[in-house]
Amino acid sequence: MRNLATQAELVKLARILQTDTGELEHLDYLEAERLRTLREGITEALFEKFRPTFTGFARLSSIVPLAISARIAERVLGPILAGRIAGEMAPDKAIDLAARLSDSFLADTCLHIDPVRARPIIAGFPVDRAIAITRLLLARGEIITMSRFVDVLPEHTLFAATDAIENESDLLEIGFFVEDSKQLDRVIAHLDRDRREAIVAAAASEQLWPEVLATLLRIGEHARLAMAELAMAQNAAILDSLIRAAAQDDLWPALLQIADEMPSRLIGTLASEPAFTDAAVIRSVIDSVIANDLWARFRNQTTAMGEERLARVLEVAANERKPFLWELDRRLQADDADRDALTNASARLSAETRQRAHGACAGGLLAEALADAGRSTPDSST
């Protein structure tokens, strides 16, 4: 999966350091969490270094008329310093001052505000101004900045801002970068069925499945299952795009994890799609199971997959992924829940494929099932 979280942190760090993201590319191997530690520490240090000056500017609005404070903010401080000073101001003063500043200046300032530090201001900020600024930030493509504000927005502003964002792919991209997953749960609960379906459709049309699945894994189980159920109810084109994306970006660990929470629905539904017969797709499943040690999760789904599709998995494995069969055979025990499914799928294989699969096995129960199937059904269609 593309490491978008790391990229997002590099963008935020570059902004703090007043440099281009390209200057930080050498750090792109670091985990997002370490980059976040770096960003937060440098932010704090840049503030601490000049605390008396920042505090002085923050108190200025208590001494001089607001009209002059507003002129100083826009003409002298500019968005970078104004953003760093905002968090030090008394919330009521900051809100009064913001009323005298242009939407455009406030949108620029948002890029440099630490939303956590400015939380009391954001909590009391007028919703109509917040929406106007949301639209400006969206028009400027400031997805990462917007996601940082989602983390601290009060519920009424959060919902109004969500409603103001008309493009569902924007919602998806912002959601991916939000750190507080409880805020995402609230947004999903707020969305009606039409918008949820539009989000799933946007994931398919904009190829945002990696972002969607990464986000689904972070939110609460109730919201996750609601979105997953909705996704499985979509048309064949959408499910096909999910299967292709899973194969291309190795999304199977995420899908199998979600599938464990909704037995017999997710993998069963996906497996019934024509794309699931594609050898490249099946190879991606097999490779992911081996590479990510997903044996238990995969085997939980073999029954839901259906005999025909499971037979196709065995066939591809017999032709191109023999170590998969060896390991599956080694693991299969007499009382395992998927033994019958594997036995029945074995019976669907052609004699030649069965023989090849048998040759790849380790002499265990799968090998036995393949041999038994050969005796009772000398040749099958697959």
Q: What are phi and psi of 28, to 5 degrees?
A: -70, -5
> Contact between 41 and other proteins (CB under 8 A)?
yes
Identified binder of other proteins from the candidate list 4, 32, 46, 116, rule CB under 8 A: 46
Contacts of 84 (CB under 8 A, 6+ apart): 46, 47, 54, 112, 113, 114
Nearest approach in angstroms of CB 44 to other proteins is 7
Nearest approach in angstroms of CB 170 to other proteins is 30
Nearest approach in angstroms of CB 58 to other proteins is 9
Distance CA 235, CA 53 (A): 59
Identified binder of other proteins from the candidate list 1, 4, 16, 226, rule CB under 8 A: 16
Using CB atoms within 10 Å of the CB of residue 7, give its burial: 0 to 12 exposed, 13 to 18 middle, 19+ buried: middle
Distance CA 278, CA 285 (A): 11
Distance CA 120, CA 127 (A): 14
Identified binder of other proteins from the candidate list 4, 11, 17, 111, rule CB under 8 A: 17
Rounded (10°) angle between helices 181-190 and 221-232: 50
C-alpha separations of 30 from 24, 25, 47, 67, 270 in Å: 11, 10, 24, 46, 34
Give the x/- contact pattern for other proteins in 51-90, rule: CB under 8 A. Answer: xxxxxxx-xx--xx---x--xx--xxxx-xx---------
Q: Are 244 and 275 in contact (CB under 8 A)?
A: yes
Nearest approach in angstroms of CB 194 to other proteins is 45
* Window of 49-57, 217-225, 263-271, 327-335 that interacts with other proteins by CB under 8 A: 49-57
Sign of the dihedral defined by the CA atoms of residues 307, 311, 314, 320, in that order: negative
Secondary-structure percent of the chain, ordered helix, strand, coil, rounded to 5? 75, 0, 25
Identified binder of other proteins from the candidate list 4, 21, 40, 196, rule CB under 8 A: 40
Q: Which is nearer to other proteins, 36 or 358 (CB)?
A: 36
Nearest approach in angstroms of CB 24 to other proteins is 8
Nearest approach in angstroms of CB 46 to other proteins is 6
Q: Which is nearer to other proteins, 45 or 237 (CB)?
A: 45
Identified binder of other proteins from the candidate list 22, 48, 334, 381, rule CB under 8 A: 48
Q: Which is nearer to other proteins, 74 or 151 (CB)?
A: 74
Q: Which residues bind other proteins (CB under 8 A)?
A: 16-19, 23-24, 26-27, 30, 34, 37-38, 40-42, 44-46, 48-57, 59-60, 63-64, 68, 71-72, 75-78, 80-81
